Amino acid sequence: MDSSTQTFQPRVMSIKLWPPSQSTRFMLVERIIKNLTTPSIFSRKYGLLSKEEAEEDAKQVEDMAFVTANQHFEKEPDGDGSSAVQIYAKESSRLMLDILKRGPRVKEDGEVLISEKSTTRGTVFDISGGRRAFIDAEEAEVLLEPLKDPGNLFTKICFSNRSFGLDAARVAEPILFSIKDRLTEVDLSDFIAGRSEGDALEVMNIFSAALEGCDLRYLDLSNNAMGEKGVRAFGLLLRSQKNLEELYLMNDGISEEAARAVRELIPSTDKLRILQFHNNMTGDEGAISISEIVKSSPALEDFRCSSTRVGSEGGVALAEAIGTCTRLKKLDLRDNMFGVEAGVALSKSISSFPGLTEIYLSYLNLEDEGAEALANALKDSAPSLEVLEVAGNDITAKGAVSIAACVATKQFLSKLYLAENELKDDGVILIGKALQDGHGQLSEVDFSTNSIRRAGARFVAQILVQKPGFKLLNINANYISEEGIDEVKEIFKNSPNMLGSLDENDPDGEDYDEDAEENGDHDDELESKLKGLDIKQEE
């Protein structure tokens, strides 16, 4: 036969993708170990696994994923194994994510306890990972597919960071309706970003109707720019909640009218432990509505109403309402326009919080009078206080006397923030003396932007460098001389990481005492004058 006319039949090769080789399985285990032991958003929230834990978990994850994929392959023995490989990868990822969210395991008597739910079927359904993105109906079908499984054990859903359009919301509606009876936690933060107002409101209505009647403990509607219309769009969901323990409405455009709507729509706040309204435009009238919610929340432990444009009138209303919350542990009112009157009003409620551990009162225009009233009240209450933040309040050395007396009694204090005040050397040394004895848990102190000079910087450095668990002193943006900088660095020479940046320090700052500058001996005189000053600590 003429070779030019000869034809060849192509050889058909069958490639089997399943089962994977032992080396492939080993490589997957190694990859899982790396993911479980690398710091991430999950490790910051749930804790980082040790190498030992990760190795054991990774082997178990790979083995379980292999079994699941192999069972699928055995049902389709004539296939090339590609679908089994997909299941193998998908199941490995799902189980690994469950472990990341579970965090380090609890050990009792040397035995490792592994939750069946965390290693087989997770209770948290979270699609917030990856880049922020719009999703359409087709993608929603794929993303929400696991929720359709009648055997799933999901009790928490997180749709944050994905923007739902109308078509995607309609896909989600029947799925959410089918599982709402077992949901206890719902996170719908930042789930309508970039949508028109009309579409966003309709999406909210759809989700609200689908979830109406679920018995939630946790609800996060933050970062949705809702305003009053948005709050009312969630009316069906909000009205049906009688056992809420945590409610987050941060960066939602909560105006006076929106705050009033929140108060009207939630039928009961008896069990509310956490209530957060950060970064809204609530104002005084809105704060009055929020104060009504607070008054009806006797179990409140964590209240945040920061950056909400609340002035004196609203601040007084909030202060009086907070006084009814005897279980309060954390209070954050930063970045409002309270002024002295609201600060004094808040001081009258402080004694109601014996379990208070964190209080954030920065940028409230407290001045010396308001700061003194609060410090005096805190001195006689909150024995377990760990965090005290009073930055940016125009506090001078006069107000520092009361703050020092307060700080001296707080032996569990971990963090003290007094940046952007007018303490100067006198005030800083007073507070430094209050920290001199005890305070073994102190880890961070911030005296930045306080017109501090050489004496004050040197004094607090000498006090704090000796604290066993101390981590960071911030004295940046002050008027410390070059000699003073060198002295402070020498004090921290064995632990330089404990001293914050000094890049913004101005050794030629103009905020000097003119007479002292002429004499050149202000630092030494001040230190000598304060040597005999004692801060008495209460027994």
Q: Tell which residue, 425, 388, 424, has the closest CA to residue 405.
A: 388
For residue 28, the model assigns a pLDDT of 85
Token reading at 460: 């607090």
Q: What is the DSSP string of 158-200?
A: E-TTEEE-HHHHHHHHHHHHHHGGG--EEE-TT-STT--HHHH
Q: What is the pLDDT of residue 535?
A: 37
pLDDT at 276 exceeding the cut of 90 = yes
Q: Is the pLDDT of residue 121 over 60?
A: no
Q: What is d(CA 439, CA 54) in angstroms, rounded to the nearest whole number? A: 36
pLDDT grade for 501, boundaries at 50, 70 and 90: very high
Distance of alpha carbon 418 from alpha carbon 448, whole angstroms: 8
pLDDT of the residue at 357:
97
Question: What Å distances lie between residue 430 and 85, 443, 466, CA to CA?
Answer: 67, 19, 18
Specify the pLDDT at position 72. Answer: 77
**Residue 122 CB contacts under 8 Å (≥ 6 apart), including other chains:** 94, 97, 98, 101, 153, 154
List of domains in the chain: 22-102 (1.10.246.200), 395-508 (3.80.10.10)
Are the beta carbons of 84 and 69 closer than 8 angstroms? yes
How big is the CA angle at 455 (ends 452 and 461), to the nearest 5 degrees?
A: 85
- Of the pLDDT bands very low, low, confident and very high (cuts 50, 70, 90), residue 211 is very high
Per-residue pLDDT, 106: 46
What average pLDDT does range 194-200 have in this prediction? 95
- Region 471-478: mean pLDDT is 97
Question: What percentage of the chain has pLDDT greater than the value 90?
Answer: 68
DSSP string for 473-509: EE--SS---HHHHHHHHHHTTT-GGGB---TT--TT-
Q: Please state the rounded mean pLDDT for residues 458-484.
A: 96
Cβ atoms of 322 and 351 closer than 8 Å: no
Pairing state of beta strands 107-108 and 111-112?
Answer: antiparallel
Asked if 80 contacts 14 with a C-beta cutoff of 8 angstroms, the reply is yes
pLDDT above 90 (res 450): yes
Determine the pLDDT at residue 46.
66
Between CA 164 and CA 172 the distance in angstroms is 9
Task: State residue 214's pLDDT score.
Answer: 97
Average pLDDT (448-471) is 96
The yes-or-no verdict on residue 122 having pLDDT over 90 is no
Residue 516's pLDDT is what? 42
| pLDDT tens digits, 332-374 | 999 999 999 999 999 999 999 999 999 999 999 999 999 999 9
Number of residues in the chain:
539
Of 390, 408, 409, 410, which is closest to residue 399 (Cα–Cα)?
390
pLDDT tops 50 at residue 6: no
* Token output for 147: 């929720």
**Rounded distance between C-alpha atoms, residue 176 and residue 208, angstroms:** 10
Question: pLDDT digit string (tens) for 256-269?
Answer: 999 999 999 999 99
Rounded CA separation 361/335 (Å): 8
116 in the Ramachandran plot: left (φ > 0), alpha (ψ -120 to 50) or beta? Answer: alpha
Q: How far is CA 43 from the centre of its chain?
A: 13
- What's the pLDDT at 107? 43
CA distance 198 to 235: 16
**pLDDT for position 386:** 97
pLDDT at residue 418, rounded to an integer: 98
Confidence of residue 445 (pLDDT cuts 50, 70, 90): very high
Q: Which segment of 67-71, 88-92, 301-305 scores lowest on mean pLDDT?
A: 67-71
pLDDT (mean) for 124-138 = 86
pLDDT at 513 over 60: no
What's the start-to-end Cα distance of the chain, in Å? 111
Cβ partners under 8 Å of residue 422, min gap 6:
394, 395, 396, 397, 450, 451
pLDDT band at 42 (very low <50, low <70, confident <90, very high): low
Whether 212 shows a pLDDT value over 90: the answer reads yes
Tens of pLDDT, residue by residue over 404-420, are: 999 999 999 999 999 99
**Among 109-113, 233-237, 427-431, 499-503, which is the least confidently predicted range?**
109-113
Residue 492: Cβ-neighbour burial (10 angstroms; 0-12, 13-18, 19+): middle
Quick: pLDDT tens for 152-188.
889 999 999 999 999 999 999 999 999 999 999 999 9
Task: State the pLDDT confidence band at 112, using cuts at 50, 70 and 90.
Answer: very low
